[in-house]
Amino acid sequence: MDDLYREIILDHYKHPHNAGEISHPSCSAEKVNPLCGDEIRMDIVINNDKVTAIKFSGQGCAISIASASLLTEYSMGKKIKDLLRFSKDDIVDLLGSELTPARLKCALLSLEVIHTALKNYETKKT
């Protein structure tokens, strides 16, 4: 009936990849979507400016959990500067479907958390 709830998204929602926490991450961040109360936390390990481990925890709707799962998967092995350039449009591409403005907020939550964590890491480094 609808693109948004394709198998891949439902699959990532029901069986998310990289769910959990990392005990000694290089950086972490968490955020809440005030609209629906979704909460996402990201723990990231960085070596040589590349993401070598990443896990997310929290609660949320299908779109926010699936996007956290897909995004953590994508982030593995990527350079910090490339991830900081990752945009709203890239998230839409990653999910493979158009999103209404309200749902876009759900999809973007995990990206915002990753960006916050990475910026914290860069600030700490300098």
Partner 1 sequence: MKISSIRNDFPVFEKNKNLTYLDSAATALKPKQVIDSVVQYYSEYPSNVFRGLYPLSQRATEAYEKAREKVAQFIHAHSPSEIIFTRGTTESINFIAYAWGRLNIHSNDEIVTTIMEHHSNFVPWQELVRENGAVLKVIDIDDSNKDSLFRIEKTVFSKITTNKTKLVAITHVSNVLGTINPIKEIIAGVKRINPHCLVLVDGAQAVPHMSVDVQDLGCDFYVFSGHKMMGPTGIGVLWIRKELLEIIPPFHFGGSMIEKVTLEESRYAPPPQKFEAGTPHISGAIGLGAAIDYMNTIGVTNIQKHEMALTEYTLKRLNDFGSITMYCPQIVRHRGGVLSFNLYDSENHLIHPHDVGDVLGLENICVRAGHHCAMPLATRLGIPASVRVSLHIYNDKKDIDRLIEGLEKVRKIFK
- How many residues are recorded in the chain? 126
Which of 3/21 has CB closer to partner 1? 3
Which of 32/84 has CB closer to partner 1? 32
Closest CA to 26 of 92, 126, 122: 122
Q: Considering only residues 12-41, where is the footprint of partner 1 by CB under 8 A?
A: 35-38
Closest CA to 52 of 121, 124, 126, 123: 121
- Work out how close the CB of 59 gets to partner 1 at its nearest, in angstroms, rounded to a whole number: 6
What is d(CA 66, CA 91) in angstroms, rounded to the nearest whole number?
11
Q: Which residues bind partner 1 (CB under 8 A)?
A: 1-2, 4-5, 10, 35-38, 59-63, 100, 102-103, 106
